[in-house]
């Protein structure tokens, strides 16, 4: 089965560094979030990179305050399928805001930071990082 991020059905099984944030866009539980003019879904695409800084702990709309996790976060539920166990996780590129992929973004200046690891086919341990950001 090929890897897929349904961007729905996520359950936060464990989260560290819980904080309240105010959104500037719509998010789903488990989404990769970054800061660019406010808290919004992350993206690895060149020219519009928004690095992952936290994980959405709940669904929310622009202007709402939600729980987010700034430390290790274990995401389960039905969000992921077909992940390669122990395979690296990245923020997705293109128009897949807030999603994760197991394929490293490869376009010049895409964000290539490894943001976590798959734990079996349906779970991922995401580790937001405020240190060094990587680009292709």
The model's pTM is: 0.94
User: Quick check: is 47 in a domain?
Assistant: yes
User: How many domains does the chain fold into?
Assistant: 1
Identify the bridge partners of residue 54 per DSSP, sorted by sequence position: 33
* Residue 19 pLDDT: 98
Residue 135 inside a domain? The answer is no
Instruction: Tell me what pLDDT residue 134 has.
Output: 60
How buried is 109 (Cβ within 10 angstroms: 0-12 exposed, 13-18 middle, 19+ buried)? middle
On whether residue 133 sits in a domain, the answer given is: no
pLDDT in tens, 20-67: 999 999 999 999 999 999 999 999 998 889 999 999 999 999 999 999
- Asked if residue 132 belongs to a domain, the reply is no
Domain assignment of residue 131, yes or no: no
- pLDDT tens column, 93-131: 988 999 999 999 888 888 889 999 999 999 999 999 776
Question: What domain range includes position 25?
Answer: 4-126
Asked, for residue 71, whether it belongs to a domain, the answer is yes
């Amino acid at each position: 089965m090929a890897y897929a991020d349904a961007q729905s059905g996520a359950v936060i099984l464990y989260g560290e560094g819980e904080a309240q944030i105010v959104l500037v866009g719509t998010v789903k539980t488990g989404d990769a979030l970054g800061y660019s003019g406010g808290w919004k879904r992350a993206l690895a695409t060149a020219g519009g990179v928004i690095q992952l800084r936290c994980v959405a702990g709940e669904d929310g709309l622009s202007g709402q305050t939600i729980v987010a996790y700034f430390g290790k976060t274990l995401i389960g539920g039905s969000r992921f399928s077909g992940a390669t166990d122990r395979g690296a996780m990245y923020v997705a590129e293109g128009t897949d805001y807030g999603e994760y992929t197991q394929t490293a973004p490869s376009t010049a200046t895409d964000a290539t930071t490894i943001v976590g690891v798959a734990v079996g086919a349906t779970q991922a341990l995401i580790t937001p990082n405020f240190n060094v950001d990587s680009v292709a």
